[in-house]
């Protein structure tokens, strides 16, 4: 059985709506990357040095990352040698399989929940990446699951940040714990933790500033927030999620490296994946940071923030080729049956 067929069977057990969201959310990347690969395969037909050079250009253009692309091309060369592959078309399922392997890793993508009380999730990231929107959508997601959720407006530095979180609170029916703009973020977190305890909350989602006067100030603020939360709830925060804007490509990777080094990040959220043709950034980030991608933003709707799933991602990215591959296999089987 081919890789594409195995993948399709594995996906069949998952919800149809999630599969559709990944497929629709990755449409730009599919056109900007997979369709170029398909065109290359059709045009070149034979695997030679020129074929690998063009494939390399396509992968780098899709923001897969230079280091990752070099490793991937080396792996494909080995596969071609070992399996004695000559036709370029035979390389397509191998490429998708390799991408899935790069994305999987050993980490668990699920959010670590506190089994003994309030789960605290802290969000970090620079301004403009969709941090507040992510918090709002996640609050909606957990509320739909029947959990009691609170949000903490810890970004007291950016103008309008508290109001923006309040708007999301009203939309999803979740209370926001806040103080005035310019207040001490650690004091807001203290109030939020006390409120969560008093109200019997299951989950506390905490916004933080994306920028202060300099990086040192920002890290000092984050450390202060950690200390306050840890003092009140041992073992918290249970997750520190860094939010990145997928449309910024390699800049998102640079941000993650700079910001994530000292801020104790445990996982990543990639927003606006539906708005970029360079979905390969997911592969680059996953490889170069060795951090699990926990959620991806696949659209504007409230439920378009989805848990990251490597199978769904590869299926969404290669969906056109998967359908073609299945059709070819069915035709081949029918031909063999008629012989």
Binding site membership: which residues? 125-132, 207-211, 271-274
Residues at the binding site for GTP are 125-132, 207-211, 271-274
Most distant pair of Cα atoms in the chain: their distance:
79
* Cβ(15)–Cβ(333) below 8 Å: no
Those residues with Cβ within 8 angstroms of residue 208's Cβ, 6 or more apart along the chain or in another chain:
122, 123, 124, 154, 155, 185, 221, 222, 225
What would the 3-class secondary structure string for the chain be?
CCHHHHHHHHHHCCCHHHHHHHHHHCHHHHHHHHHHHHHHHHHHCECCHHHHHHHHHHHHHCCCCHHHHHHHHHHHHHHHHHHCCCEHHHHHHHHHHHHHHHHHCCCCCCCCCCCCCCEEEEEECCCCCCHHHHHHHHHHHHHHCCCCEEEEECCCCCCCHHHHHHHHHHHHCCEEECCCCCCCHHHHHHHHHHHHHHHCCCEEEEECCCCCCCHHHHHHHHHHHHHHHHHHCCCCCCEEEEEEEHHHCHHHHHHHHHHHCCCCCCEEEEECHHHCCCCCHHHHHHHHHCCCEEEEECCCCCCCEEECCHHHHHHHHCHHHHHHHHHHHHHHHHHHHHC
Half-sphere exposure of 210 (CA within 13 A, CB side): 19
* Cβ(150)–Cβ(233) below 8 Å: no
């Amino acid at each position: 059985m081919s890789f594409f067929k195995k993948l399709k069977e594995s996906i069949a057990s998952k919800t149809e709506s999630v599969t559709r969201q990944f497929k629709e959310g990755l449409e730009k990347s599919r056109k900007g990357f997979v369709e170029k690969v398909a065109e290359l395969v059709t045009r070149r037909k034979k695997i030679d040095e020129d074929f690998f050079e063009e494939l390399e250009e396509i992968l780098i253009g899709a923001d897969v990352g230079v280091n990752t692309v070099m490793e991937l091309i080396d792996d494909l060369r080995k596969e071609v040698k070992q399996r004695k592959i000559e036709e370029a078309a035979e390389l397509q399922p191998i490429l998708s399989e390799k991408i899935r392997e790069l994305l999987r890793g050993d980490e668990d993508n699920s959010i670590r929940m506190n089994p003994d009380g309030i789960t605290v999730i802290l969000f970090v990231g620079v301004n403009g990446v969709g941090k507040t929107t992510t918090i709002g959508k996640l609050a909606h997601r957990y509320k739909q699951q029947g959990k009691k959720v609170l949000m903490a407006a810890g970004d007291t530095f950016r103008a309008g940040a508290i109001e923006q979180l309040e708007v999301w609170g009203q939309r999803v029916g979740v209370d926001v714990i806040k103080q005035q703009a310019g207040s001490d973020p650690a004091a807001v977190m203290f109030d939020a933790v006390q409120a969560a305890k008093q109200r019997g909350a299951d989950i506390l989602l905490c916004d933080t500033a994306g920028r202060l006067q300099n990086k040192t100030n920002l890290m000092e603020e984050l450390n202060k927030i950690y200390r306050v939360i840890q003092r009140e709830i041992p073992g918290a925060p249970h997750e520190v999620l860094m939010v990145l804007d997928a449309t910024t490509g390699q800049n998102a990777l640079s941000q993650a490296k700079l910001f994530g080094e000292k801020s104790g990040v445990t996982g990543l959220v990639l927003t606006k994946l539906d708005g970029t043709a360079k979905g390969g950034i997911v592969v680059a980030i996953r490889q170069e940071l060795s951090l699990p991608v926990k959620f991806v933003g696949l659209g504007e709707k409230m439920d378009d923030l989805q848990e990251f799933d490597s199978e769904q991602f590869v299926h969404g990215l290669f969906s056109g080729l998967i359908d073609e591959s299945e059709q070819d296999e069915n035709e081949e089987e029918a031909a063999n049956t008629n012989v």
